[in-house]
Amino acid sequence: MSLCLLYARSLCPTASCRLSPAASAPPSLPPPPPAPATLRLSPASTSPACALQCSHFQSCSGCTHELNLHRPSVVDDAADFFKSLGVSDFTFDSCKLWGWRCRAKLAVRGSSVDPLIGLYQEGTHSVVDIPNCKAHHPNINAAMELLKQGIKELGIEPHDEDQGTGDLRYVQMAVTTYNTSIPASERYQHGQVQVALVWNSRNENSPNSDKLNALAHFLWRNGGSKCKVPFIHSVWANFQTSTSNVIFGNRWRHLLGDRDFWEHLGGIDVSLAPSSFGQANTRAFNSLLRKLQKYVPYGASVTDLYAGSGVIGLSLAATRKCRSVRCVEINKESKLSFEKTVERLPKYVDSSISWHQADTSVEPTSWLVGSDVIVVDPPRKGLEASLVGALQTLPAWELKTRSSPESFKTKEEKRPWVLRAREASVQVGNDLSEENRHSVPQTLIYISCGWESFKEDCKSLLSSKAWHLEKAHGFNFFPGTQSIEVLAVFKRRENMHIKKKKAGKKKKKSPAKKQKALMHQEVMT
């Protein structure tokens, strides 16, 4: 069998949750996928058409349940939670149920004769080989098979954690469906894989670098652009010798194929370096972006916190014609991807756009003020306590600036963290921060990948009476797990800073004072 045709394992369909009990399980060669469904919540279906049916389920730690992939039980909890807060129209997008994962970090263990590529078994560091993963985009599975053949033919030794030996530690595979040369309906099926090999050496000049180059050329020769049906986008190397559980080292090297990795998300072309964060479920993420855009007014000023390479903020700049967009991210590796994405923004975008490397937990109010809309997309642990506190006390800050605006005039900045953020920042267009530096956001859009942490943050925000919850939507980013992505829209409560005076009874004037007032009135007339 030609290695170039390994990619041809058929894509599993996108499932609609409105399935009849008679629906059958996905066959090995499924029919064309129907459009994804957005669900109004209804009793769970146990149809086999929504079952995982994966041979690796019992040993792999990736998926936690086999049935009802379209509607994990956590959705019931979410619906009840939001209903208790007055949001009764919570919706859940089932998204794609199989072949949805376009980004995977996999451990490489075993031997050069029998390599294992997959995930750790639950609670151990024993790797489970998952060549037929139902969650992976089929071309990730094809690239895994090709990588195994290269390891065997070239005698590449997988990493041995106990001994600290071996050459190949991990592999990251990311699929791009960006290919304007073919119809849009076929691009997902023909997605190409960026392969990043995590090599057990300090740099490209280490003694085992010949093996690295040989493996890269093997992958490219059998799956690259000169192949009849190419499915390898590019090959990268990352160098890591640490004994910790950290997957990537700080040193990257582009080996073969296209250097730039592009995807079309939220209405814009997005650049993603192998070192920067990218959503594993690109189709579901695109659905979320489209929903999010509806809650941002045209011409608004937006701050995107935990911004990564700025995908959310830049998509809003393009689709909502924002007056200004600030993207704040702690990882400096995202800066280059941000700059490349900005270069490809549509010509009509005329926003003040900036990216800042900064920790939002340090004096967060400085990032909140000056915007109409705040977007937060924190890691699974949720928002830092300092940021929650700043969001709770925004009305008090606003009242203070109104009563004493002189105290908030710009002063010469000496704080080290602010200076570092300015040095690392990127500014595109005119800086409008001075024009809006006293404005306070009226909308908070919270994107959550950690349901339990979101509930705590939501309760804290609402307890301050500064915000109320307006809308909530769920997305099935990780079918086969109890994890859902939530998009929640909070609005500022109007006039929270104005204290109403209690109406008291008027004091009656004494007869003497009343007579004096009458005499005064006569004199005046």
Instruction: Check whether 279 is labelled as a binding-site residue.
Output: yes
Amino acid found at 78: A
Q: Are strands 262-265 and 251-257 parallel, antiparallel or unpaired?
A: unpaired
Start-end of H helices in 70-135: 74-84
What does the block give as tokens for 460? 């804290």
- Residues in the chain with pLDDT values less than 50: 1-45, 407-411, 415-419, 496-504, 518-525
Measured CA to CA in angstroms, residue 432 lies from 131, 232, 323, 324, 375 at distances of 52, 43, 8, 7, 18
DSSP state of 231: -
pLDDT at res. 203? 92
**Domain segments of the chain: what residues?**
3-30+100-259, 282-402+412-493, 497-525
Assigned token pair, 515: 């007579």
- Helix, strand, coil percentages (3-state) for the chain, rounded to 5, are 30, 20, 50
Whether 251 and 238 have beta carbons less than 8 Å apart is answered as: yes
Whole-angstrom distance, CA of residue 31 vs CA of residue 189: 13
Phi, psi values for residue 109, rounded to 5° = -135, -165
Q: Does residue 306 have a known ligand-binding role?
A: yes
Q: What is the pLDDT of residue 500?
A: 42
Question: How far is it, in rounded angstroms, from Cα 42 to Cα 18?
Answer: 9
Judge whether 449 counts as a catalytic residue.
yes
Dist CA 231 CA 223 (whole Å): 6
What the block records as the tokens of 108 is: 């490489």
Distance CA 281, CA 269 (A): 17
How far apart (Å, rounded) are the C-alpha atoms in residues 356 and 420? 9
Which alpha helices (DSSP H) does 88-234 contain, by range? 138-154, 209-223
Amino acid at 513: K
Query: How high is the pLDDT of residue 463?
Result: 95
Query: Can you tell me the distance from the alpha carbon of 69 to that of 17, in angstroms, rounded to the nearest whole number?
Result: 9
pLDDT given for residue 181 in this prediction: 86
Nearest residue to 271 (alpha-carbon basis) of 186, 178, 193: 178
Q: Hey, what CATH class is 282-402+412-493 in?
A: alpha beta
Tokens linked to 221: 């020769």
pLDDT tens for each residue of 230-260: 999 999 999 999 988 899 999 999 999 999 9
Q: How far apart are CA 138 and CA 148, in angstroms?
A: 16
The CB density around residue 130, as the number of other CB atoms within 10 Å, is 24
Q: What pLDDT shows up at residue 410?
A: 46
Residue 431 confidence (pLDDT)? 66
Q: Both tokens of residue 177?
A: 């469906």
Distance of CA 149 to the CA centre of its chain: 33
Longest dimension (CA), the chain: 114
Q: Report the C-alpha gap between 173 and 141 in whole angstroms.
A: 10
Per-residue model confidence (pLDDT) at position 39:
46
Question: Of 35, 37, 42, which Cα lies nearest the Cα of 75?
Answer: 42
| Residue 397: per-residue pLDDT | 66
What's domain 3-30+100-259's architecture? Beta Barrel (2.40)
Q: Which three-class secondary structure state does DSSP give residue 390?
A: helix
- What is the C-alpha to C-alpha distance for residues 84 and 472, in angstroms, rounded to an integer? 12
Token pair belonging to 476: 């099935």
Whether 275 contacts 194, CB under 8 Å: no
Pick the catalytic residue from 60, 95, 449, 458: 449
DSSP-assigned states of every residue in 23-66? PPPP-SSPPPPPPP-EEEP-PPP--GGG----TTTTT-SS----
> Element (H or E) spanning 252, and its range?
strand 251-257
pLDDT at position 503, please? 46
Helix (H) or strand (E) run with residue 141 in it = helix 138-154
